[in-house]
Structure 1
Amino acid sequence: MNTDSGSAPPDTGTDFLYPFIDANETDAEALLADLRNSAQSKAAESVALRQASLQESAPLIETAAAEMARRFAAGGRLFCFGNGGSSTDASTLAELFARPPSGRPLPAWSLTADEAVLTALGNDVGFELVFARQLIARARPGDIVIAMSTSGNSADLVAGLTEAHRRGLCTIGFAGYDGGAFADHPDVDICLVVRSQSVHRIQESQALLGYQLWASVQAHEALQ
């Protein structure tokens, strides 16, 4: 690959992810090799991180699953929420609990699913309160919330977790990097941290942790 710095464009901050995009590559075979190596490297990195995250989080997942199963058995419900890509991950997790491929369906909702509610609250009370205000209206003691984030720092997620904790809900946070504001927060009962600097890898690992959490809840004796 041609890496002549004199003809390279300014660093866009993504060169470490896709080093071949801005390269002056004229050899098709070399370009294909670069693409293949990049894909293989990212796949290997993702597998290693998922395995490490699952191993590190295993005790916390079991603790969370036991409490969630206890609450579900007593009539509790699950509310999931997040921003951006994490909102889709939260919706997927809620769907997994509510409409599982096997096992017992459990009451679970995504707080980003209703765009009318979300935009009304964002417009009327401010985006920072879009989740907290929904929980004020819908949540009750004995319920559960899961907030999904790559940074663990989003103000609206922290506000939602704080409101949930104040109302007697079990609060679970998913975060990346070092856990951000979720880590050691008094209103976050359990924080599952994926220790990576890559948003892509964090979300891939969080998907696995979410699935394992669901599987552990389903396997728990409280639901049998």
Structure 2
Amino acid sequence: MNIAHRRRPLALAWPLLLAAGLALSAWQWREAMESPGAQSGHSHLHDDTGKPARLYAWNAANAARITLSTPTATSTHTRAGRGWTATSGDAASNFDADDFLSLFSQARSDRVLAPHPGESYGLNPPALRIAIDDAQGAALARMDVGALTPDGLGRYVQLPDEPELRIIPDYQTRAPMAAMIQVNPNAGGATSTATLSLVKPGLRKDK
């Protein structure tokens, strides 16, 4: 009798535990479907530490060629032994390729923006185009860099095959931007725009 009495609460608890498990699973599924990453198809989500995930999976040592282009100038840097040589176009002599790669290969973005009609965001044409290839000529990175955000801390950028724009910290592209402006000062026109309007309802953070 006592055994049957003890089993009765357990029998009542199982349906409650099952219902709680189903509710938790449904909530997790809904959160995944409603997250910006799920809606936009982006794979650039936050990592396990809560930081925005890296945009790229390659490391600085994988890069063998860097091509920097503005509407009026191009500078190409090719890895040669332990250093770099400018192989074509206008050489940006003060550009430190190794420092740039160590930073850019870790580039992160946690904000995306649906572009609004009539807003160029400094990307039509882009103020700077960055192309990075490995030793076999395979593309590691392609990025169009636009204007500063209104707060002056970020830049609008466009990645291939992404309809939305991303915002990355300005310091991640500051070195190549400065180098190319010195090569061709007239290329700085588009980069000096720091007051483009930002329609806040279109801005969101990747989760």
TM > 0.5: no
Between Structure 1 and Structure 2, the one with more strand by share is 2
TM range (shorter): under 0.3
Greater per-residue helix proportion: 1
* TM-score (normalised: structure 1): 0.24
